[in-house]
Structures are given as structure tokens and as C-alpha cells.
């Protein structure tokens, strides 16, 4: 064989080899990177010296390809009869596109997964060596080209061999010395390590210590996002990669696209059909205009009505006036359905979580997680209807512009697209910290207004209007400055991208015009390209910025997933039955409990309350009294022993039936920002207005309500702020009276009741307690002298128990508390200043015992010097 181009098999083989060279290396590299990311192949750090060697060899390879392209271009300019070999030129252009990101990754990545690089280097060496050898034979009639191609091919082959050998050495080396790479380490990371802040890393990003872009930010969500990323990294490792990680989100699919909801499934089909139709018409519409142009440019043209009709039809179908409106409606149906289902799922889950979650939660974070449930639908929508169609559009576009003009046109667009996306990623990362700062300044500005307006009285009390005005003015200035800093960077990126698209469009048009002038293409092809340009470039913007949106959506979805993965510590057991209350007897059997295992709260409590009895808890604050009521309400489960109602262990019955049988009057009642009638009816939703008013009369609040301008329709304000403390407690009592439960829990329910009302309330309590088991927490001992059992609680143990008289006879802790309160009353008659018991002895309200002593009897006691006990005994 003489090696001349007349040998078709050899020429065909090398042409095919040239065409396949860059796609083979490039697609392998991308696929291997995706695979290594999915399975979490371990990344390695290399020394700066070794990195410089890799960069040098890779850069030599890249510049060898650029040199070959410049050779073809300069020779075609110098010799009009010379036409560069298209397969070789395309191989060089494709290789430039392939090696540019490879060099970028080697230079900027601190930790690298070397398997994709090693495989790419092996393929490149094999293909380049084969191409170099074959070029030595095929260009025997062009000595100048043969020598040049062999020279640059040899350089690339040697460089790729050195890359291959060095990469293989990196792969087989278990421990790499990267101490010399210190000058490339992040000062922020060092500082954090010096401060003892641990980080959980994934790849090269310290996820637990950095913000979304690896930039430390003062934004409010930074710590939350960092924590979520740390948890995500842990779950990624546990699940074996992204495939397993993303499977966790599959639990949401039945809520996003429910199979049993034919409306949603039909809307999904409409969207998929519209997506496919749009892809087709994006191509046909500009093509049809090119056909019209070609027919009009013929000699003696006639009106191409049929082609014009098709063009108008395609344009109409592809517009919002055509099938676009159906797609919009379908999207609205899917979005609303997903929002409703996911939000209700999160809301129901939050309400079903145990008290330990609600006492430790960040309310704002929980609300944000519930509100951002729609981010899942946004994520699915972007992947299905934005990213996937874009990839399809780009593939079709490259093929179409090649058929319109030449494969060189496709490379012009590819280079423009690569530069456009790279600039977008760079400026997005550059402007993101400034955007966070801008958002933070906006939060501060808004917070200043809210604080000042909500605390207007404080501002007025201290005459600080001028100070607040100046503070707010400075916040506005800071916000504007942050906005300028953000927008200057953001607009700089847009300007650079527009510059790229402008020159890219001009280059494509000039290239098309040269082919039209040479007679190889018709004018209609250029018109088609111009009309098709928007379809070509619009995906570039989405690809530039979609990764940011996808990352944010994943963070929001991760927040929701973490919330839904939080399991209630108190849950109904399988096979739990409804509680059946007959007598209402309650028994604590060796009950133990601790919020933290290091500090027990309840220690071996034993008590039995018969049906209809009143049990009172007294003692110092923090002794465990309220915790015992929480255990009875089953906000927590005992860690030892048991609690039973009518012989039924609370853990064996459903929480709903248990709480339906209990009624609680808390010390600090909280109301909804609704009317008084709605708040009271909340206890029993089917209650009539007459029953509500009867409960209010029994709670001595009816007269107060009737004195309000809107009576029972009066709004109580957020959390009931428009009512006094006594009114709040009486409304809480009215709710329990309306509920009419079997067992009543009173947690210092008269702490905010004044002297004129308390006797009426105590009368209502006696009516409420009659025939019902009642548990009372009281610091005012005079309110529980009639209790069947009084339990003195100290450090989670019952140290005394008995009736009022029995405990006074014993002369223990209860007698001491009683003496201090009654002494405080007698001394307070003259001083009008009630004394308080020592906090170590009990945090009680030491004001006058009001339940059994009327004002007249107080005057009598003052005159005769008799004690409260004498008054109580006299009235009995």
C-alpha cells in the first residue's frame, strides 16, 4: 500500500476515527464523573508539585490541538484551493471542548476522583497514537501536512502517555503527600479547625461549615443549610451515593403524582404531550419560514399560501393562545395538587409529633419546612419539563444546524454555549455571597420596622423616635449598598453573556453568508437560522442558572425530608384500643421519668386516685408536679413503671381517646386569634351557643364578656393578648366546663384570679370536680384544703401525703408552707404587701387565702387576732 488518499478503506477508517475521537473521550469522562459521583468514589488530594505536572501535560495537549486548528485556518486563508480535512478539523475542535473542562477540574479541585481522568487519558492515548500512525501513511502526497500532523500528534501522544502513567500512579497510591499544597488551602477552613469547629466533608466542600457555595455567610439560613448538608453527606455515604440518596425522596411521588387522581394524571399527560409537541414545533416553525423565503427568492415567485398557512398554524399551536394555555392550566392543576398534598402531609406530621419535639423546635424553621413543601414539585418540574427538554433541544439543534449549513456551524454554537454557561456559573458563584448579604440587610431592615412598630410604647416611654429613625435610615442605606454590590456583579455576568451571544450570533451569520455567497446554501437557510436562534440560546440561560435552583430546591426538600423523618417519641402501639373510662380511677405504679437520662425528674412515684377524688400536688417549683400531669396527658411516656386509668395502661390506649377523656386548665392559657365564642367552642365543636354561655356563667366570665362591645364575637388578639390574665384563665375554665371530661387537670388554674372572683371560681370547680377525678397543682394552699389527698412533691418524689388536717398534724414540709402563707397573710393585712415564701421552700403565691375567708371575716380576724384556721374551722 502506498498510503495515498486513493485507498478508500484506510481513508474511511481514519475519518471515522477522527469523528469518534472527541465524543468518545468526552462522553466517557462525563459518564465516569457522573458514575463516580453517584457511587461516592473516594477523592484524593495531590501535592501542588504533582498537580503542576498534570496541568503541564494537559495544557500541552490542549495547545497542540489549538495549534493544529490554527494551521488549518491559516493555510486555508493563504491558499484558496486548500480545504482542511474536515474529520481532522472536527477532531481538534471537539478535543478542545473536551480538554478545557478537564484542565479546569485539575486546576481548581482540591480533591479529585481520578478514575474518570485515568480512563479518559487511556482512551485519548490509544486514539491519538492510532491516529498519529495512520496519518503517517495517508498524507504521503502532502509531505508538509504529513510532517506537521505527525509532529503535533506525537506531542499529544507523549503528553497523554505521561498523563496516563502519572494518573495510574495516583490511583495505586493509598496515601499521598500533600503537605506542600498548603499555599492552596483555605484560610477559612484553617480558622474553623483552629476554633475546634468540626466539618463533615463531601468531595472538596466542607459541607457543615460552608454555605451553599462554600462561602461563609451571615445569612439566617446558613447554619441550618450547613447542618442539612452535613446530614445529607452522612446519608449519601450511608446510602452508597446519590442514587440511594435520591430514592429517599421517592416517598413524595405518590403525593406529587397520585395514581388514583385522574385529574392530576391527565394534567401530567397533557404536559408531556405539550413538551414533545413544543420540541417538534420549535424546529418546524423556523424551518417553514426558511421554505417560504426560498420560494420567494426564486425567479418569478408566487405566493406560497400553503407554506404560509402551515407557518401560521405552527406558530399558533406553539403559542400560549394554542396548546400553551392547556399546558398552563395543567401545570396549575399539578402544582396546586402537589402543594395541597405535601403541605397537609407535613402539617399533619408536625401536629402528630411529641411534646419533646415541640418544646425544642425552632418554630420558624418548622414553618419554613412546611411552607417550602412546594419546592419538591418545583424540583420535579424543573427536571422533567426544563432540564430534560433542554438536553433534547441541544442535541436536535446541533444536528439541525449541521444540516442547514455545516458541522463547523455546530462547533461555533458549542463553543459559544460552553463560554456562556461557564460565565454564568462563574458570575453566579461570584454574586451569590453578595446576594446573601443583600437578603440579610433586607431582613435587618424589615426586622427594625417590625420591632419598632410592635414596641411603639417602649419607644414613646423613652422618647427614642429620633434614634429609631436614624437606625432605620442607616439600615436602608446598608440595604441599598448591598443591592448595588450584588447587582453590579450580577449585571456584569449578564453583560458578558450577552457579549458572547452577540459575537456568536454574528459569527454564525457571517459563516452562513459565506456559504450563501459561494452558492452552497440558499438564503432561506440563513432565515431559518435567525428564527431558530432563540431556540438555540434560551436553553443556555436555564443551564447557566438551573443548578443554583436545583441546589436550593434540594436543600428545601432535605429540610422537609428531615422533618418527616422525625418520628414521634410517643406513638400509639399497634393494636391500641380506645380508652374506656368508667370510674375514673388513676394509678401511678413506680412511675419514673427523665427528660435527660442524666437527671431523673420523677422517681418511683406511687399513688392511687379513686374515681371522683381530688388529688392536690404542692411543693417547690421544678419538683415534678407539672411533669406528672404531662405524663398523665401522655405528652411523654414514663421511662419506668406505669400509669393506669381504670386499670388500662396509658401506653396501650390511643392518644386521641385518652385526651378526649381529659380536661386541662393550664396556668398560662393561650387562645387563637378568633372570637371568644370560637375559642370556647374549640373544646366541643358541636356545642350550642346556650351551652357556651352556661359554661361561661359557671366560670364567672359571662358578665365580663357581655361588657365587651362585640360580646361573644369579640376578637381576643394573637394568643389572647387583648384579655387580662384572669379573663384568660376563666375562659380556659369555661372550655373545660364545656368539654365536660371524666378527669380534670388544674395546673395552678387560679393564679391570675382576683379576690372578688376566686370564690365563684372555686364554687365552679367544686361543681366540676363532683363525680370526677381531679388533679390540682396549687401554690396557694388555701385552694386545696378540701382535697381528698394532698401530695407534697420534692425532687420528683412524694415526701408527704394525706389530707389537709393530717399533714398539719404531721408538722412536716406542708405544715411549714402553710404556716408561712398564713403568716404572710396576717402580716400583710397591715402592710398591704403580701410576703412570699423562700424560693428554696416553694414558689407559691402567698397572698390572702381566699377560698374560705370572706372580706368581712378578714376584718373580724384583724380585730380579734384569730388565725385563718379559726376562720376556716368556724365556717365548716
List all residues 6 or more positions away from 593 whose beta carbon is below 8 Å from its beta carbon. Answer: 600, 601, 602, 627, 631, 636, 638, 639, 640
Biggest distance spanned by C-alpha atoms of the chain: 138
> What fold characterizes domain 254-393?
ABC transporter transmembrane region fold (1.20.1560)
621, exposed or middle or buried, with CB in 10 Å at 0-12, 13-18, 19+?
A: exposed
Question: 808: which 3 cell numbers?
Answer: 398539719
pLDDT recorded at residue 832: 37
Q: CA 204, 206, 211: angle at the middle one, nearest 5?
A: 115
Phi, psi at 590, each rounded to 5°: 50, 40
> Residues in the chain with pLDDT < 50?
1-7, 140, 175-220, 826-876
Quote the distance between the C-alpha of residue 763 and its chain's center: 52
Helix, coil or strand: residue 801: strand
Residue ranges per structural domain of the chain: 8-184, 254-393, 586-802
Residues 543, 69: Cα–Cα separation, whole Å: 28
Question: Contact 334/377 with Cβ under 8 angstroms?
Answer: yes
Coil, strand, or helix at residue 242?
Answer: helix
Q: Specify the pLDDT at position 529.
A: 86
CATH class belonging to 586-802? alpha beta
For 57-66, b/e burial (b = at least 16 CB within 10 A) is bbebbbbbbe
Using CA atoms, how far apart are residues 479 and 561, in angstroms rounded to an integer? 33
Calculate the alpha carbon distances from 85 to 18, 89, 125, 283, 389 in Å: 10, 6, 22, 30, 34
Q: What is the pLDDT of residue 480?
A: 93
**Nine cell digits for residue 420:** 456562556
What is the reported pTM? Answer: 0.61
The CA distances from residue 92 to 74, 85, 89, 715, 761, in Å, are 15, 11, 5, 76, 92
Among candidates 676, 684, 722, 674, which has minimal Cα distance to 701? 676
CA atoms within 13 A on the CB side of 215: 14
CA–CA separation, 807 vs 798, rounded Å?
A: 13
CB proximity list for 545: less than 8 A, separation 6 or greater: 424, 428
C-alpha pair distances (Å), 368 with each of 200, 233, 443, 649: 24, 22, 15, 37
Measured distance CA(626)–CA(776) in Å, rounded: 10
Each residue's pLDDT tens digit, 456-500: 878 888 888 888 888 889 989 999 998 888 888 888 888 888 898
| DSSP per-residue string spanning 275-343 | HHHHHHHHHHHHHHHHHHHHHHTSSS----HHHHHHHHHHHHHTSIIIIIHHHHHHHHHHHHHHHHHHH
Write out the DSSP string of 606-619: EEEE-TT-EEEEEE
What pLDDT shows up at residue 827? 44
**Helix, strand, coil percentages for the chain (3-state, nearest 5):** 65, 10, 25
Confidence at residue 139, expressed as pLDDT on a 0 to 100 scale: 52
Give the model's pLDDT for residue 360.
62
Could you read off the pLDDT of 412-446 as tens digits, one per residue? 888 888 888 888 878 877 887 887 788 788 878 88
End-to-end C-alpha distance for the chain, whole angstroms: 130
DSSP designation for 775 = E
What is the structure's pLDDT at 373? Answer: 60
Instruction: Give the Cα separation of 16 and 87 in Å (integer).
Output: 8
Amino acid at each position: 500500500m502506498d498510503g495515498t488518499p486513493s485507498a478508500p478503506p484506510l481513508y474511511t477508517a481514519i475519518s471515522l476515527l477522527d469523528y469518534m475521537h472527541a465524543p468518545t473521550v468526552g462522553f466517557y469522562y462525563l459518564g465516569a464523573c457522573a458514575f463516580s459521583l453517584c457511587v461516592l468514589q473516594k477523592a484524593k488530594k495531590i501535592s501542588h508539585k504533582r498537580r503542576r505536572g498534570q496541568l503541564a501535560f494537559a495544557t500541552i495537549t490542549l495547545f497542540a490541538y489549538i495549534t493544529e486548528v490554527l494551521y488549518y485556518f491559516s493555510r486555508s486563508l493563504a491558499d484558496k484551493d486548500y480545504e482542511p480535512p474536515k474529520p481532522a478539523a472536527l477532531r481538534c475542535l471537539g478535543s478542545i471542548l473536551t480538554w478545557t473542562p478537564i484542565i479546569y477540574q485539575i486546576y481548581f479541585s482540591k480533591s479529585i476522583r481520578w478514575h474518570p481522568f485515568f480512563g479518559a487519558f487511556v482512551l485519548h492515548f490509544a486514539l491519538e497514537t492510532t491516529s498519529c500512525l495512520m496519518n503517517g501513511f495517508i498524507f504521503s502526497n502532502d509531505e508538509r501536512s504529513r510532517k506537521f500532523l505527525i509532529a503535533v500528534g506525537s506531542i499529544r501522544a507523549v503528553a497523554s502517555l505521561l498523563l496516563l502513567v502519572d494518573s495510574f500512579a495516583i490511583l495505586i497510591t493509598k496515601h499521598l503527600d500533600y503537605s506542600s499544597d498548603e499555599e492552596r488551602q483555605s484560610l477559612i477552613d484553617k480558622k474553623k479547625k483552629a476554633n475546634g469547629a468540626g466539618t463533615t466533608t463531601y468531595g472538596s466542600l466542607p459541607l457543615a461549615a460552608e454555605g451553599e457555595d462554600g462561602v461563609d455567610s451571615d445569612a439566617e439560613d446558613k447554619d441550618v443549610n450547613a447542618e442539612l448538608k452535613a446530614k445529607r453527606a452522612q446519608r449519601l455515604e450511608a446510602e452508597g451515593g446519590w442514587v440511594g440518596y435520591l430514592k429517599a425522596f421517592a416517598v413524595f411521588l405518590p403525593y406529587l403524582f397520585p395514581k388514583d387522581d385522574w385529574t392530576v394524571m391527565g394534567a401530567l399527560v397533557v404536559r408531556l404531550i405539550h413538551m414533545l409537541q413544543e420540541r417538534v414545533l420549535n424546529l418546524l416553525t423556523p424551518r417553514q419560514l426558511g421554505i417560504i423565503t426560498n420560494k420567494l427568492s426564486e425567479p418569478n415567485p408566487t405566493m406560497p399560501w400553503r407554506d404560509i398557512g402551515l407557518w401560521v398554524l405552527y406558530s399558533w399551536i406553539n403559542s400560549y393562545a394554542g396548546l400553551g394555555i392547556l399546558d398552563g392550566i395543567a401545570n396549575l392543576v399539578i402544582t396546586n395538587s402537589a402543594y395541597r398534598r405535601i403541605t397537609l402531609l407535613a402539617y399533619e406530621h408536625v401536629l402528630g409529633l411529641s411534646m419533646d419535639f415541640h418544646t425544642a423546635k425552632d418554630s420558624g424553621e418548622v414553618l419554613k419546612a412546611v411552607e417550602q413543601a412546594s419546592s419538591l414539585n418545583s424540583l420535579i418540574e424543573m427536571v422533567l419539563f426544563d432540564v430534560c427538554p433542554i438536553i433534547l433541544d441541544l442535541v436536535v439543534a446541533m444536528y439541525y444546524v449541521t444540516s442547514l449549513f455545516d458541522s463547523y456551524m455546530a462547533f461555533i454554537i458549542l463553543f459559544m454555549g460552553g463560554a456562556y454557561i461557564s460565565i454564568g456559573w462563574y458570575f453566579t458563584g461570584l454574586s451569590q455571597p453578595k446576594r446573601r448579604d443583600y437578603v440579610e440587610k433586607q431582613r435587618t431592615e424589615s426586622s427594625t420596622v417590625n420591632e419598632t412598630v410592635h414596641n411603639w410604647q417602649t419607644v414613646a416611654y423613652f422618647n427614642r423616635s429620633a434614634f429609631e429613625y436614624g437606625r432605620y435610615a442607616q439600615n436602608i442605606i446598608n440595604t441599598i449598598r448591598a443591592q448595588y454590590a450584588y447587582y453590579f456583579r450580577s449585571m456584569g455576568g449578564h453583560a458578558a453573556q450577552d457579549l458572547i451571544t452577540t459575537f456568536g450570533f454574528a459569527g454564525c451569520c457571517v459563516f452562513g453568508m459565506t456559504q450563501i455567497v459561494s452558492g452552497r446554501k440558499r438564503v432561506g437557510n440563513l432565515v431559518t437560522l435567525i428564527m431558530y436562534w432563540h431556540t438555540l440560546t434560551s436553553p443556555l440561560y436555564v443551564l447557566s442558572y438551573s443548578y443554583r435552583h436545583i441546589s436550593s430546591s434540594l436543600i428545601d426538600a432535605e429540610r422537609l425530608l428531615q422533618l418527616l423523618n422525625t418520628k414521634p417519641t410517643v406513638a400509639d402501639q399497634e393494636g391500641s384500643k380506645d380508652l374506656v373510662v368508667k370510674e375514673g380511677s388513676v394509678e401511678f405504679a413506680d412511675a419514673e421519668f427523665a427528660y435527660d437520662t442524666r437527671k431523673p425528674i420523677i422517681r418511683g412515684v406511687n399513688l392511687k386516685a379513686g374515681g371522683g377524688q381530688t388529688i392536690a400536688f404542692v411543693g417547690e417549683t421544678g419538683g415534678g408536679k407539672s411533669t406528672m400531669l404531662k405524663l398523665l396527658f401522655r405528652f411523654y411516656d414514663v421511662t419506668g413503671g406505669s400509669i393506669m386509668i381504670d386499670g388500662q395502661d396509658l401506653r396501650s390506649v390511643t392518644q386521641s381517646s385518652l385526651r378526649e377523656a381529659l380536661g386541662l386548665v393550664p396556668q398560662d392559657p393561650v387562645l387563637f386569634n378568633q372570637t371568644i365564642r370560637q375559642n370556647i367552642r374549640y373544646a366541643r365543636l358541636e356545642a350550642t351557643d346556650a351551652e357556651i354561655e352556661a359554661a361561661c356563667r359557671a366560670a364567672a366570665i359571662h358578665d365580663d364578656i357581655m361588657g365587651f362591645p362585640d360580646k361573644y364575637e369579640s376578637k381576643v388578639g394573637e394568643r389572647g393578648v387583648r384579655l387580662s390574665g384572669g379573663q384568660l384563665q376563666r375562659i380556659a375554665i369555661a372550655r373545660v366546663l364545656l368539654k365536660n371530661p371524666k378527669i380534670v387537670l388544674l395546673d395552678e388554674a387560679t393564679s391570675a384570679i382576683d379576690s372578688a372572683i376566686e370564690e365563684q371560681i372555686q364554687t365552679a370547680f367544686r361543681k366540676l370536680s363532683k363525680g370526677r377525678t381531679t388533679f390540682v397543682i396549687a401554690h396557694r394552699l388555701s385552694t386545696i384544703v378540701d382535697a381528698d389527698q394532698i401530695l407534697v412533691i420534692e425532687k420528683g418524689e412524694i415526701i408527704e401525703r394525706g389530707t389537709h388536717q393530717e399533714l398539719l398534724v404531721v408538722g412536716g414540709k406542708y405544715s411549714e408552707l402553710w404556716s408561712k402563707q398564713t403568716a404572710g397573710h396576717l402580716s400583710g393585712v397591715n402592710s398591704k404587701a403580701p410576703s412570699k415564701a423562700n424560693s428554696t421552700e416553694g414558689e407559691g403565691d402567698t397572698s390572702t387565702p381566699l377560698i374560705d375567708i370572706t372580706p368581712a371575716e378578714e376584718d373580724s380576724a384583724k380585730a380579734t387576732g384569730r388565725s385563718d384556721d379559726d376562720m376556716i374551722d368556724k365556717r365548716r
